[in-house]
Amino acid sequence: GAGQRLSPAYSSLFFYRTLEPALRDLTQPLIDHAEGQLFLNEAFKIIVEEVLHKGTDAEEKVCEWREPESLALLLDLQLRDTGESQGRLLQRVRNVAKYSIKTSHPHFFNQQFGGVDYHSLAGRFLTEALNTNLFTYEVAPVFVLMETEVLKALRQLVGWTDGDGIFCPGGSTSNMYAMNLARYKLFPEVKTKGLWALPRLAIFSSPGSHYSVQKGASYLGFGTDSVVLVKVDDGGRMIPEDLDAKIELAKSQGFVPLLVSCTSGTTVLGSFDPLDCIADVCDKHQLWMHVDAAWGGSVLFSKQHRHLMKGVERAKSVSWNPHKMLLAGLQCSAFLLQDTTNLLKRCNCANASYLFQQDKFYDVNLDIGDKSVQCSRKVDCLKLWLMWKAVGSTGLEHRVDKAFLHVRYLLEQMKKRDGFQLVSTPEFVNVCFWFIPPSLRGKEGNADYQDKLAKVAPVIKERMMKEGTMMVGYQPLGDLGNFFRVTVFSPHICHKDMDFFLDEIERLGKCL
């Protein structure tokens, strides 16, 4: 037979004799499923109890603060040669839960994610158990079709009947896809020849845009000097006239203007750039208009609030993170594309023949993996799909509308209290404010007022973390000293939680 071509390579496996007999026994697999499933059952119970039950109880802590050294000691993180008992491991599961931040707690206001949707979570457990890699129809039949359908539904909300897209590991990556596609569209030779073969390019964005525009410019080889910051109005919205002027200026300096990265829902203020007017400028100069709606995109579900993104249908691409306001769970970031010419695949494909064979027995257009700059790619669509099936577009619309109602309530309550001063007029569900402690009230004229005010938020933050009662972020912005940013979107909260929020800021800051 053809067997003679078998080489003696594996006869060099002399180590065989040195191995333990149990390992040499090829009649038994190394992993016992029954025992493993027992462990998983017990771990599941602990997860439900610690993370989902206690972790969402307003009476429990958001945070069990420990200093890093003491936490490291407590967790005994070191990895060793020998394994541990199941009981010890279950205690580890409990400890990890205990000392982690409870991001689904009603008093977690720290970031633009958080909250638990149980249908999404079931989808995430299923995703993990299936452990599917989203390359091809052959290995991911359900998810190739599902991702396509979810992207289509998201595109319809943008206002596109056709197009393309992909799920990315986060909004930064989605924004980088836009930059990469824009330059490939204009200069396809960049794929082979690199940026050296191209004129210097310019990317336009606002100072309030997400830092991934800067990171992307650096990572993709443009350099951060390629990013031109356009002026914003009092509400943090890009000024189209200044965009036009900056584009002209860049041209006069020898740059080729490539792309405008607009923002729908800036990170700090929650501002929405005026997309329709920006689209006019993009049309005029033939620029790629990208909308970073990672945070704000969810308003598209709301008949009442989608006007904030009027003009989005004129964009060439949109980033939208359902893991933020919609609670789809990390990571869930859609990159949506108006293009119907297979630009995404043409730009990113490498045609690896071990994966994307062309002689398959089904339509190889279903092998969507080559659209990605990744190879292994996690399934991020199932959780969103299952949640969407569970509550419908209307249920998601309600979450968005309710978030605006919560903000309205919070603003009304702030107005009734002393010491809460807004940084700007909220347009979305970010409420940015200074808390003026009693000792600083009426002292606005003092020379050291701003310095003293800027020190208030960090102290209140430290106190709330150490007591573990709630979490909210603060930051400076341009010339403005530290102020709090509370993002009010969790469907877990009710008016009591917002009252608590304000009471707690007052309590922690009153003696400052």
Distance in angstroms (rounded) separating the CA atoms of residues 147 and 379: 8
Residue type, 264: S
Q: Determine the 3-state secondary structure of 176 from DSSP.
A: helix
Is the peptide bond between 331 and the residue preceding it cis, with omega within 30 degrees of 0?
Answer: yes
Contact segment (CB under 8 A) with a copy of itself among 188-196, 246-254, 281-289, 501-509 equals 188-196
Position 187 contacts a copy of itself (CB under 8 A): no
Single out the residue of 161, 192, 252, 341 in contact with a copy of itself (rule: CB under 8 A).
Answer: 192
Position 406 contacts a copy of itself (CB under 8 A): yes
Contact segment (CB under 8 A) with a copy of itself among 94-102, 240-248, 309-317, 337-345 equals 94-102
Q: Determine the 3-state secondary structure of 424 from DSSP.
A: coil
Single out the residue of 224, 253, 342, 450 in contact with a copy of itself (rule: CB under 8 A).
Answer: 224
Position 479 contacts a copy of itself (CB under 8 A): no
Contact segment (CB under 8 A) with a copy of itself among 15-23, 244-252, 270-278, 309-317 equals 15-23
The CB-of-512 to a copy of itself minimum distance in angstroms stands at 14
Helical ranges in 376-494 per DSSP H: 382-416, 449-454, 456-467
Contact segment (CB under 8 A) with a copy of itself among 237-245, 280-288, 469-477, 500-508 equals 469-477
Single out the residue of 388, 456, 484, 501 in contact with a copy of itself (rule: CB under 8 A).
Answer: 388
> Of 32 and 241, which has the nearer Cβ to a copy of itself?
32
Binding mask 120-139 for a copy of itself (x = CB under 8 A): -xxxxxx-xxxxxx-x-xxx
Of the candidates 42, 37, 44, 34, the residue with the CA atom closest to the CA atom of residue 88? 42
90's tokens: 């279950």
Helical ranges in 50-108 per DSSP H: 68-75, 86-99
Q: Strands 420-422, 430-435: parallel, antiparallel or unpaired by DSSP?
A: antiparallel
Question: Of residues 365-384, which lie at the interface with a copy of itself (CB under 8 A)?
Answer: 366, 373-378, 382
> Of 161 and 354, which has the nearer Cβ to a copy of itself?
354
Of the candidates 125, 41, 105, the residue with the CA atom closest to the CA atom of residue 387? 125
The footprint of a copy of itself on this chain (CB under 8 A) covers a number of residues equal to 216
Of the candidates 124, 49, 468, 26, the residue with the CA atom closest to the CA atom of residue 328? 124
Contacts of residue 50, Cβ cutoff 8 Å, sequence gap at least 6: 94, 97, 98
Question: Of residues 19-48, which lie at the interface with a copy of itself (CB under 8 A)?
Answer: 19, 23-24, 26-31, 33, 35-37, 39-41, 43-44, 47-48
